[in-house]
Chain A
Amino acid sequence: MADTGEGKKEEAEYKRLHTFPLIRHTDMPEEMRVEAMELCVTACEKYATNNESAAKMIKETMDKKFGSSWHVVIGEGFGFEITHEVKNLLYMFFGGSLAVCVWKCS
């Protein structure tokens, strides 16, 4: 019991520590990156329980801001191989358990 309690504590600690967005890979220009990152954070916080809605929101907003044909994947575990336009990829972690991949390809 004590172990599990400790485990929970640790988890809470971990979640508290790891709420910030962590960019894993990106080739976007500075300005775009910041904007996309903020958008992902907003979307994930808004739809904390529904990754699909969050992805939809990110996709639609990105389409509006940077031109169409954006794709977004949000999930806790997945693999992918994508083709993206150069300077239009953002792959980041958020909230300690979510991975967000945003890219553009028409």
Chain B
Amino acid sequence: MPGKAADKHRKGQGRPSGGRAGPPRVLRAAPKKRDDDVSTEAGDVADAGAGGKALVKPPDQLELTEAELKEEITRVLKADNPHAPQNIVRYSYKERAYKQISHVNQMAIHFSYNGNLIPKDSDEGRRQSMKSTTGAEKAPAETSAETSEETQGKDEESTGDTQAAGEETAEESGAAEVAETAEDEEVPPPKKPEKKLANQFNFTERASRTLNNPLREKACQSEPMPCKDFSSTVNQWEIYDAYVEHIQKMEKEKEKEKSKSQAVKKEEVKKKERKFTSLEFQSNEIAKVSKVAKIMERMVNQNTMDDIIQDFKYFEDESDEYRGQKGTLLPLWKFQYDKAKRFAVTAISWNPKYKDLFAVGYGSYDLMKQSQGMLLLYTMKNPSFPEYIFSSESGIMCLDFHNDYPYLVAVGFYDGNVAIYNLKATSQPSHKSCAKSKHTEPVWQVKWQKNDMDNNLNFFSVSSDGRIVSWTLLQNELVHTDVIKLSVEGTAAQRPEGLQLKTLGCGTSFDFHKKIDYLFLVGTEEGKIYKCSKCYSSQFLDVFEAHHMAVDSVSWNPYHSKVFISCSSDWTVKIWDHTIKTPMFVYDLNSGVGDVAWAPYSSTVFAAVTTDSKAHVFDLSINKYEALCTQLVVSRKKNKITHVQFNPVYPVIIIGDQRGQVICLKLSPNLRKMPKAKKGQEVEKGPEVQIAKLEKLLSLVREPANKTEL
């Protein structure tokens, strides 16, 4: 506002000159402008001076000489704002370059205030007061209202009218107000005689109103609670009846419980009686009904097979006395299961804890007819139906019970897998080898070992892929380590030079020494028997050129720590001293020998089964040239018997055949003859006697051999 700036300037500089002394040229513009509106301060002073009145000087005013006063001081005042920047540069998007901006805003506002008061003698004020007078004729004496140009709003209330007008005008005349503020004080004097208005402070009110937010309703309703009706009547009789009924009920229940608990006690007593021989009560998971059903089944079997049971327990063949050394096998039960009929018995094993329980592995020895397999557990107490049934995808080739955990069965499959079945658990194997670590060929034998140093369960397996693998049972997996690889010596030499194929021997059976932990024997398909140690994975302790065909089974003597037996498809059974490379005894049985087993009660008794379905029982101490008993076990020609096992306690053997049948046979007294007590001498017992017995026989064989060497 140039006017204001000029005004200020004059106040500071022009006062001393008294305003009288011809105002400078430039200044003149200012008063002129101001005169348009109202009389200004400067104007007043000038008027007073013109009137010749004495000037009232402030005491601290400078005294200037005439010359000084007359001196012209030239000042050029421009409308430019000295503080405004001269070189504003802005980026112009249009021209894409920084450009100096020629137009600079020169306005400087030092103070601005929009008041809500309107001076009475301003145009606006006059207009308003005019309106109010014309609107309400009750106040006709208003001086400021000279002319009533507008004749509107007669019915309206005067105050409301002025307010409304004030609102409008105040906004419109914004520019005027700025000037008005400064001159508020000077307005009243000429109008003092005016009659007081209702609004004695001469202001008008301003107000505004905002929009109210629109309202909206929202509601929801929940589902009512489901309700039911209930009705009844009650009186003393009903209450009495209810109580009496309840008490009677309670009494009845008590009686029942009593009788029940008595029954349970009785059953428990019975159980204890049977516990020694019964496995059934060990498993908690069998439901009550099945338990009862099982008992019933056994009872029925006991009745129907009473004669067999009597035979098993008491029958001793008296005709043995007239047979001399010979003995017989008395067939007892046949264990059959419909679903296992098409399989061959590939493995049998007695449970180490429950002497009546044995496991049978089913599979097939026919290479072309491989299918599924089965694992059945039978008990002699119930020959009609297996106690446990597990089926597997591949044929089972071998199995072994753990000695300390009789519920764990290790199983080897035709497809090279090994698995552990837990009889307590479900029908699936609790552990199974994975495809990565399994054997690549059928597993021919598995055997549990003592727990390792970390007390983990572990077992060994032998397969025709030439590996002997130790499996350790960690929490959820089977970890395998190759113990030995059966490399065939001699074969490499026959091959053309430069072609070094490593052929691996095919292990078919093995047995661990009863006392020397690390020592074990491996029979192979080539007919060799390797004496190995768990400690050396690449070398054998010894090699026996034992057979001309696959070794079907090797087994350490349970008493004599040096002696082992082997059988082969080349019709022979051989007994060895592992320190001597040649066999001690050789028996030709005129047919392939499928399995051989030492008797648990004597160091000199063993049984062998041949493919012509004959079982042979030998007792070396009685006859070291011939079998004491050679008996046809299964009659049909198509059938073959595959495996034989002695029961560890009872004088029975079980023999498996190729049609899924297991036959239990009792050994006649001649086959389990103990040395007769001489008069006045006690019968010696114990392993020492057994060892001595076998040693005596061996010495007979050894000496001539030594002699011939000499």
Check A76/B236 contact, CB under 8 A, given A86-B228, A89-B228, A91-B230.
yes
Find chain B residues with CB under 8 A from A77 CB.
234-236
**Whole-angstrom distance between the alpha carbons of A89 and B230 in the complex?**
9
Binary flags per residue of A16-44, CB closer than 8 Å to B gives 1, else 0: 01100010110100000000000000000
**Residue A78 contacts which of B225, B226, B233 (CB distance < 8 angstroms)?**
B233
Report yes or no: B235 in contact with A76, Cβ–Cβ below 8 A: yes
Report yes or no: A85 in contact with B232, Cβ–Cβ below 8 A: no
**B46 at interface (Cβ–Cβ under 8 A)?**
no
**B227 at interface (Cβ–Cβ under 8 A)?**
yes
Min C-beta distance of A66 to chain B, whole Å:
12
8 Å CB interface, B210-257 against A: 225-236, 239-240, 242-243, 246-247
**Residue A81 contacts which of B229, B234, B239, B246 (CB distance < 8 angstroms)?**
B229
How many of B's residues come within 8 Å of A, CB to CB?
18
Report yes or no: A80 in contact with B231, Cβ–Cβ below 8 A: yes
Report yes or no: B232 in contact with A79, Cβ–Cβ below 8 A: yes
Find chain B residues with CB under 8 A from A80 CB.
231-233
How many of A's residues come within 8 Å of B, CB to CB?
30
Report yes or no: B232 in contact with A91, Cβ–Cβ below 8 A: yes
Report yes or no: A86 in contact with B225, Cβ–Cβ below 8 A: yes
Report yes or no: B240 in contact with A96, Cβ–Cβ below 8 A: yes
**A93 at interface (Cβ–Cβ under 8 A)?**
yes
**Residue A93 contacts which of B225, B228, B233, B243 (CB distance < 8 angstroms)?**
B243
**Whole-angstrom distance between the alpha carbons of A25 and B232 in the complex?**
10
From A75, which residue of chain B is reached at the shortest CB distance?
B234
Find chain A residues with CB under 8 A from B229 CB.
81-84
Min C-beta distance of A63 to chain B, whole Å:
16
Find chain B residues with CB under 8 A from A54 CB.
none
**Whole-angstrom distance between the alpha carbons of A8 and B176 in the complex?**
113
The number of residue pairs between A and B whose CB atoms lie closer than 8 Å in the complex comes to: 73
**Residue B227 contacts which of A25, A75, A85 (CB distance < 8 angstroms)?**
A85
Find chain A residues with CB under 8 A from B240 CB.
14, 18, 96
Min C-beta distance of A43 to chain B, whole Å:
18
From A104, which residue of chain B is reached at the shortest CB distance?
B225
Binary flags per residue of B568-602, CB closer than 8 Å to A gives 1, else 0: 00000000000000000000000000000000000
**Residue A86 contacts which of B226, B234, B236, B243 (CB distance < 8 angstroms)?**
B226
**Residue B231 contacts which of A14, A75, A82, A97 (CB distance < 8 angstroms)?**
A82
Check A83/B227 contact, CB under 8 A, given A25-B232, A78-B233.
yes
Report yes or no: B227 in contact with A79, Cβ–Cβ below 8 A: no
Report yes or no: B226 in contact with A97, Cβ–Cβ below 8 A: no
Report yes or no: B243 in contact with A96, Cβ–Cβ below 8 A: yes
**A62 at interface (Cβ–Cβ under 8 A)?**
no
**Whole-angstrom distance between the alpha carbons of A80 and B243 in the complex?**
21
**Whole-angstrom distance between the alpha carbons of A86 and B225 in the complex?**
7
**Whole-angstrom distance between the alpha carbons of A29 and B82 in the complex?**
91
Binary flags per residue of A55-96, CB closer than 8 Å to B gives 1, else 0: 000000000000000000001111111111110010101001
8 Å CB interface, B316-369 against A: none
Check A17/B247 contact, CB under 8 A, given A79-B234, A96-B240.
yes
**Whole-angstrom distance between the alpha carbons of A103 and B225 in the complex?**
13
Find chain B residues with CB under 8 A from A84 CB.
227-230
Find chain A residues with CB under 8 A from B232 CB.
24-25, 79-80, 91, 101
Find chain A residues with CB under 8 A from B233 CB.
78-80
**Whole-angstrom distance between the alpha carbons of A39 and B246 in the complex?**
22
Min C-beta distance of A80 to chain B, whole Å:
6
**Whole-angstrom distance between the alpha carbons of A22 and B508 in the complex?**
75
Besides A80-B231, A82-B230, A85-B226, 20 other A-B contacts (C-beta < 8 A): A14-B243, A24-B232, A24-B242, A27-B228, A76-B235, A76-B236, A76-B239, A80-B233, A81-B230, A83-B227, A84-B229, A84-B230, A89-B230, A91-B230, A91-B232, A97-B236, A99-B234, A99-B239, A103-B230, A105-B227
Q: Could you tell me which A residues sit within 8 Å of B by CB distance?
A: 14, 17-18, 22, 24-25, 27, 75-86, 89, 91, 93, 96-99, 101, 103, 105-106
Q: Could you tell me which B residues sit within 8 Å of A by CB distance?
A: 225-236, 239-240, 242-243, 246-247
13 of the cross-chain contacts (CB-CB < 8 Å) are: A14-B243, A18-B240, A18-B247, A75-B234, A76-B235, A84-B228, A84-B230, A85-B228, A86-B227, A97-B239, A98-B239, A103-B230, A105-B227
